Amino acid sequence: MPDLRELYQDVILEHSKAPRNYRELGAANRKAEGFNPLCGDRYIVYLDLDGDAVRDIAFQGSGCAISKASASLMTQSVKGKTRSQIEELFDDFHKIVTGETTIEDSASEVSKLSVFAGVSAYPVRVKCATLAWHTLRAALAGKGEPVSTE
Amino acid sequence: MTLAAKHQVADVTTAQTRSATYDLQKIRADFPILHQRVNDRPLVYLDNAATTQKPRLVIDAITRYYESGNANIHRGVHYLSQHATQEYEACRETVRWFLNAADASEIVFVRGATEGINLVAQTLGRTRVQSGDEVLITAMEHHSNIVPWQILCGEKGATLRVAPINDAGELILDEFVRLLGPRTKIVAVPHVSNALGTINPLHRIVELAHRHNAAIVVDGAQSVPHLSVDVRGLDCDFYVFSGHKVYGPTGIGVLYGKAALLDAMPPYQGGGDMIRSVTFEKTTYNKTPYKFEAGTPDISGVIALGAAINYVNELGLDRIEIHEQDLLRYATESLSAIPGVRLIGTAKEKTSVLSFVMDGIHPHDIGTILDEEGIAIRTGHHCAQPLMDRFGVPATARASFGLYNTREEVNTLVKGIERVREVLA
């Protein structure tokens, strides 16, 4: 049986209770909405994009501990990064939450995100962990439509 | 005598009366699925409002049909076809009796409550609702009693009106009355709310709708497993329910409609079995209810639904109700005593549904942690997003009790919720 503590690690709980960059971003020039119709989780990701790089990022919304902590940690890890760096980071993150990679073979960039490795034991929760990331990618792509996990 | 001691005596007395009339251990033995372990704990199944588990005799009815009775109905001269037809039609009579309908022809087999509502919207709705007309529903609807009417109103240029509810989750009748008018052509309400458990005052609602010459459609998906329903006593025009919520299989359900209304309605789907004669120029339709049953139906589903209704009937809905109301009272007391737990839906008249939220903890996380304890509950918006908005919550956790649940399972739920607080504190 998977250990709940592996899923709800202290870092995750702490970020879910006190999410970082949790605000509306006045200077945002990109914005996207993400929605998980199955559980009702809903987030807005605001981006201040400077050319190809994320100058600033913030988010707002509601959802479970996993989705909120993931959004919070995501905003910290992508600030200052370019689109291609973010895509790479997302690929690694996705492999972590689906259990395709372990922390050992992850680059140091993603090591902070490895707190989400416990999610891989709970396949239905992968959507929670990736919701904010999908929303960020929609904001980067400049799509007006809200993204959905379904 | 201390309060606690008094309470104990009262508990023993109720337990004795209960066991004399309602043998829970024997009942639980009828349900094979209940005797398994989930995540290394005994399964505690508290998601009965989503779907109920099936007693052995329902499962056996499906196996028996396919092993020895399978044939198409209403068309063969051979033995198996005649036998299957007889069994199928006998179940129609079982359902007629169960709902106290006047005639078996008023019972239409559909895929579930959702299809029943869509059928009425697309037949009676399309002929009766015109531009400028109104359809009245309530704020506690399941999406299945919103969207079909929204589609109809969109097509016809009609308006969908929504009667509000109070903070306890009860329909505000005065507001409901105010929304009824000469434009109201259809009133569609749930008998019981799926997310809150609220039992609506159906007699009064039907009477009010009829006073305004509106047809009344009742979503009975959440009432039929818990209350005995008398469609003639209620005088409702249509009543729908799903087999799988009343211990029958998925994919089969019932639409009850008054004969005069069904006879006047156009068909829903075209195909085999719903016709009397077909030429390329013209088709004449079969009589009610066959007019609404195009194509080969879910024959084994109907037969198994008949078995489920007989099972429920043998236990007695009156005794089931007493048992479930006891569980509801016990669970309401127990959960209310946990700090940080807030119940959503506190109507005076309720079925055994407990929706709740916890301070600072999202229902999805509650669901995952309870699952680790072997406890199955529903978390999310319960296909009632407007209702969640009404209560200002994105989602709730919902424990719903069926005829086989026990007080011990309520205790396990309470321990599970305490574990949620531990893990996420």
The pLDDT score that the predictor gives to residue B5 is 43
Residues of B marked as catalytic: 383
The pLDDT score that the predictor gives to residue A38 is 75
Q: B265-278 burial, b if ≥16 CB within 10 A, otherwise e?
A: bebbeeeebbbeee
Please report which confidence band the pLDDT of residue B296 belongs to, taking 50, 70 and 90 as the band edges: very high
The pLDDT score that the predictor gives to residue B347 is 98
The pLDDT score that the predictor gives to residue B13 is 43
Comparing CB atoms, the residue among B361, B395, B423 nearest residue A40 is B395
Please report which confidence band the pLDDT of residue B96 belongs to, taking 50, 70 and 90 as the band edges: very high
The pLDDT score that the predictor gives to residue B318 is 96
Kindly compute the dihedral angle of the four CA atoms of residues B55, B61, B64, B69, in this order, to the nearest 10 degrees: -170
Nearest chain A Cα to B385, which residue?
Answer: A40
Residue B376: is its pLDDT beyond 90?
yes
A96 to chain B, closest Cα gap in Å? 20
* pLDDT tens for each residue of A46-73: 999 999 999 999 999 999 999 999 999 9
* Cross-chain residue pair B424–A65, CB shorter than 8 Å: yes
- Helix (H/G/I), strand (E/B), else coil: B275: strand
Residue B53: is its pLDDT beyond 90?
yes
Q: Is the ipTM of this complex over 0.90?
A: no
Give the mutation candidate from A1, A3, A4 for the B interface (greatest B CB count, under 10 A).
A4
Please report which confidence band the pLDDT of residue A101 belongs to, taking 50, 70 and 90 as the band edges: confident
A4: which chain B residues are within 8 Å (Cβ-Cβ)? 368-369, 372, 423
Quick check: B352 and B325 in contact, CB under 8 A? yes
Token readout for A96 is 């972590």
Please report which confidence band the pLDDT of residue B63 belongs to, taking 50, 70 and 90 as the band edges: very high
The pLDDT score that the predictor gives to residue A105 is 54
Running DSSP on this structure, what letter comes out for residue B378? E
- What is chain B's length? 425
The pLDDT score that the predictor gives to residue B267 is 95
* Cross-chain residue pair A39–B369, CB shorter than 8 Å: no
A98 to chain B, closest Cα gap in Å? 17
What does the pLDDT average to over B51-57?
98
* Cross-chain residue pair B365–A66, CB shorter than 8 Å: yes
The pLDDT score that the predictor gives to residue B15 is 43
What does the pLDDT average to over B253-276?
95
Quick check: B420 and B369 in contact, CB under 8 A? yes
The pLDDT score that the predictor gives to residue B219 is 98
- Helix (H/G/I), strand (E/B), else coil: B124: helix
* Cross-chain residue pair A8–B424, CB shorter than 8 Å: yes
Token readout for A31 is 């914005």
* Cross-chain residue pair A38–B380, CB shorter than 8 Å: yes
The pLDDT score that the predictor gives to residue A149 is 67
* Cross-chain residue pair A40–B361, CB shorter than 8 Å: no
The pLDDT score that the predictor gives to residue B250 is 98
* pLDDT tens for each residue of B111-124: 999 999 999 999 99
Structural domains in chain A (count): 1
Kindly compute the dihedral angle of the four CA atoms of residues B263, B227, B302, B67, in this order, to the nearest 10 degrees: -170
Residue B10: is its pLDDT beyond 80?
no
Residue B16: is its pLDDT beyond 70?
no
**Would you kindly state where each structural domain of chain B is located, as residue ranges?**
3-46+316-424, 58-314
* Cross-chain residue pair A64–B362, CB shorter than 8 Å: yes
Domain that holds residue A40: 4-148
| The most confident of A29-43, A115-129, B207-221, by mean pLDDT | B207-221
* Cross-chain residue pair B380–A7, CB shorter than 8 Å: no
B388: which chain A residues are within 8 Å (Cβ-Cβ)? 40
Rounded to the nearest integer, the mean pLDDT of chain B is: 94
State the residue for tokens 């709980």.
A13
Quick check: B289 and B262 in contact, CB under 8 A? yes
Give the mutation candidate from A7, A12, A14, A39 for the B interface (greatest B CB count, under 10 A).
A39
Comparing CB atoms, the residue among B369, B395, B423 nearest residue A39 is B395
Please report which confidence band the pLDDT of residue B2 belongs to, taking 50, 70 and 90 as the band edges: very low
Quick check: B309 and B98 in contact, CB under 8 A? yes
Of B113, B381, B382, which Cα lies nearest the Cα of B250? Answer: B113
* Domain B3-46+316-424 annotated CATH 3.30.1330.10: no
What does the pLDDT average to over B150-176?
98
d(Cα B389, Cα B55) in Å, to the nearest integer?
A: 37
B397 to chain A, closest Cα gap in Å? 11
A2 to chain B, closest Cα gap in Å? 9
* Cross-chain residue pair B368–A122, CB shorter than 8 Å: yes
The pLDDT score that the predictor gives to residue B17 is 45
Comparing CB atoms, the residue among B39, B40, B364 nearest residue A39 is B364
The pLDDT score that the predictor gives to residue A128 is 94
* Cross-chain residue pair A40–B381, CB shorter than 8 Å: yes
The pLDDT score that the predictor gives to residue B14 is 44
Running DSSP on this structure, what letter comes out for residue B190? E
Comparing CB atoms, the residue among A4, A17, A68 nearest residue B372 is A4
B39: which chain A residues are within 8 Å (Cβ-Cβ)? 1
Nearest chain B Cα to A12, which residue?
Answer: B424
Task: Indicate the CATH number of B58-314 among 3.90.230.10, 3.40.640.10, 3.50.30.60, 3.40.50.300.
Answer: 3.40.640.10
Give the mutation candidate from B357, B364, B390 for the A interface (greatest A CB count, under 10 A).
B364
- pLDDT above 90 covers a percentage of chain B that reads 89
- pLDDT above 70 covers a percentage of chain B that reads 95
The Cα-based distances of B160 to B129, B143, B388 in angstroms read 11, 13, 19
The pLDDT score that the predictor gives to residue A75 is 97
Token readout for A52 is 């190809």
Comparing CB atoms, the residue among B361, B365, B394 nearest residue A40 is B394
The structure's pTM equals 0.91
B380: which chain A residues are within 8 Å (Cβ-Cβ)? 38-40
Whichever domain contains A27, its CATH number is 3.90.1010.10
The pLDDT score that the predictor gives to residue A144 is 60
- Helix (H/G/I), strand (E/B), else coil: A81: coil
